Chains A and B, each alone.
Chain A
């Protein structure tokens, strides 16, 4: 094939040079293609290989290393963890410590049937969720709804069980991270949806400007915006000055969970608005007109036409808020109080203050498992948004 291609190419070149008017452009990189072709590597493979190799080396392998070190123990020295493989007198010994994972659930004072109960609720919830998706393909909505409500009840029971238990610091941090991320995501959806919708429906002239206003904070520093927010909410900050001028007592906002919610919504709002906007702007207005012609009130049209059609945008945007918020470090440490235990902060302390690298690694691996399901949801929703184009 290479031989044949060469002949054809040669022929074409002959023709053009014979013509005299069109010169074959010589480019400085021409030799590269030839060199690789001579080595039997296709350009296609190279295009895939370069980013894939970089990602494997500096993203996938590091995650494997984290898993490995989470099975070591802390020790003094450099590096401050034990070796997994030791060679002694010709015997190679592999030592895996599960203690870092056991520590994550130890010192949790609960009844004997606590963990079986938690696992059972979790299993029932996931099973019902999966079953609902399978049934949705073949059965009527009422059956699907019934199955999904089992999943919802199981989740509620799971949360109630976890909340009433006397958990250790790690589990408490995991739970409160999920709670803080979830509540903030709900608020981001409530605040961001009308904004995305207004931008998508705005006249052309305004749309670009409004979109620019959403993107602009996204380009400025995240850290500095959190700092700006802290100046806004602190004891003698702008809000309290306004409240004081009205003769009301000052509000304590900083160093509370409330400040963390505000901080997450504030920082991640553009991440929610942009994918939802991309989705909403593609929505065919004639569908809304049809619904209105058939006598539906605007709110009903929204609930039954706009919302279902924009669901993939909502999910993609919500996950872009939820997943990074779970591991957030900057916001809880600048805006939250000592009582705001989030897992990103605990991991940071384990690593930097307590120098317990294996424990920090175990926390990272556990966090990874928590974000895997929302991540898969996001991937599906994003490809749905992309295909809608």
Chain B
């Protein structure tokens, strides 16, 4: 079939659209000029400002902790959910479970955030728990939306998995729990890792839900960044963004190279 020029041109433009703003953000983080986005020489001043900033780094630490805990909760619950949805034959409420677990994936954040806040306020006045809003409430809220991502990732891996391996183990007398830990878990481990990482990123990135359910004194990184960039350019945010983008790019590239280099032992 004759290849037309349309596809390469259109997709190159598309990738350019995706990457040009990110690249310019990184480049301008090394700009000497503080106020204007006009290039006026190389400098690492904005990185020094970031280091000395009283809010950004503590908020980043808090966000990392919240993300780690909520991603782990989401990993356990999301994996269970994926197993129930893929492996179990029809059970009462399967369709409802499927719809409920994937709803937070697309549910506008303002609705999820408002709903959880109103629940926490209601619970506080009825049973007295949670006594105040902060890290704990953010973790619970994030675990809900992260769970959806874990479920989707693990579900697709479980769907690809060859059932005969598990059947063989069961024929040899292994209990379902043992089959899961000895056979299924090692095979879906890559999906669990990427599900956890995805959940971690989603939690680290969330502004809207955290703003609703957080209390005084628990400002996450996106909340601090948002208050800084609302008013315009903030070079220290450029520096922070460049570091995050660099780390993510490094991580993704390393993961991809490892995956490509590994001999393809598909079960």
Question: Which A residues lie at the B interface, using CB under 8 A?
Answer: 9, 12, 27, 29, 32-33, 43-44, 47-48, 50-52, 54-56, 58-63, 65-66, 69, 79, 191-192, 194-195, 197-199, 201, 208, 210, 212-217, 219-225, 227-232, 234, 236-238, 241, 266, 269-270, 288-289, 292, 298, 319-320, 323-324, 326-330, 333-334, 344, 347-348, 351-352, 357, 360-361, 364, 367-368, 371, 375, 378-379, 382, 386, 389
Contacts and interface: CB of A to CB of B under 8 A. Distances in A.
Interface in B33-50: 36-38
Given A221-B205, A330-B207, A347-B114, A59 B144 contact: yes
Contacts of A79: 121-122, 125
Nearest to A365: B111
Given A266-B18, A386-B159, 17 more contacts: A27-B181, A29-B181, A51-B80, A55-B97, A60-B100, A66-B115, A79-B125, A194-B10, A223-B205, A227-B25, A229-B21, A231-B238, A323-B108, A324-B108, A364-B111, A364-B114, A379-B99
A364 B115 contact: yes
Contact of B241 (A228, A323, A347, A375): A228
Contact of A232 (B20, B116, B147, B260): B20
B102 A379 contact: yes
A27 B185 CA distance: 15
Nearest to A192: B14
Contacts of B256: 208, 212
Contact of B37 (A237, A329, A333): A237
Contacts of A232: 20-21, 24
Contacts of A52: 81, 93, 97
A104 to B, nearest CB: 16
Nearest to A321: B106
B222 interface: yes
Contact of A50 (B18, B80, B103, B197): B80
B154 to A, nearest CB: 12
Contacts of B147: 51, 54-55
A81 to B, nearest CB: 9
Contact of A51 (B77, B118, B181, B253): B77
A228 B22 contact: yes
B261 to A, nearest CB: 12
Given A208-B260, A361-B114, A48 B14 contact: no
Contact of A228 (B4, B24, B36, B240): B24
A47 B84 contact: yes
B197 to A, nearest CB: 8
Nearest to A66: B115
Contacts of B164: none
A348 B110 contact: yes
Given A58-B116, A236-B38, A386-B159, A224 B225 contact: yes
Nearest to A222: B205
Interface in B43-79: 76-78
Given A195-B10, A364-B115, A55 B144 contact: yes
B165 interface: no
6 A-B pairs with least C-beta separation: A327-B108, A62-B115, A194-B10, A228-B25, A51-B81, A198-B11
B177 A29 contact: yes
B233 interface: yes
A224 B24 CA distance: 12
A59 B10 contact: no
Interface of B: 1-2, 4, 6-8, 10-11, 14-15, 17-22, 24-25, 28, 36-38, 76-78, 80-81, 83-84, 88, 91, 93, 97-112, 114-116, 118-119, 121-122, 125, 140-141, 143-144, 147, 156, 159-160, 173, 175-178, 181, 197-198, 201, 204-205, 207-208, 211-212, 222, 225-226, 229-230, 233, 237-238, 240-241, 244-245, 248-249, 251-253, 256, 260
Contacts of B25: 224, 227-228, 231
B4 A195 contact: no
Contacts of B14: 191-192, 194-195, 269
Contacts of B111: 63, 66, 327, 364, 367-368
A365 to B, nearest CB: 9
B98 to A, nearest CB: 8
A226 to B, nearest CB: 9
A376 B193 CA distance: 30
A380 B101 CA distance: 15
A230 B229 contact: yes
A47 B229 CA distance: 44
A66 B118 contact: yes
A298 B2 contact: yes
26 contacts: A29-B177, A44-B88, A48-B91, A50-B77, A54-B143, A54-B144, A55-B144, A59-B115, A194-B7, A195-B15, A198-B7, A212-B253, A213-B18, A223-B226, A224-B240, A227-B225, A228-B21, A231-B28, A231-B37, A238-B24, A292-B1, A329-B208, A344-B109, A351-B212, A360-B114, A378-B106
Contacts of A237: 37
A266 B17 contact: yes
Contacts of B102: 379, 382
Contacts of B143: 54, 58
B252 A212 contact: yes
A298 B4 contact: yes
A223 B211 CA distance: 14
Contacts of A60: 100
A330 B226 CA distance: 9
B106 A324 contact: yes
A223 B15 contact: no
Contact of B100 (A32, A47, A59): A59
Contacts of A361: 114, 118
B77 A364 contact: no
A234 B114 contact: no
B252 A219 contact: yes
A196 B229 CA distance: 33
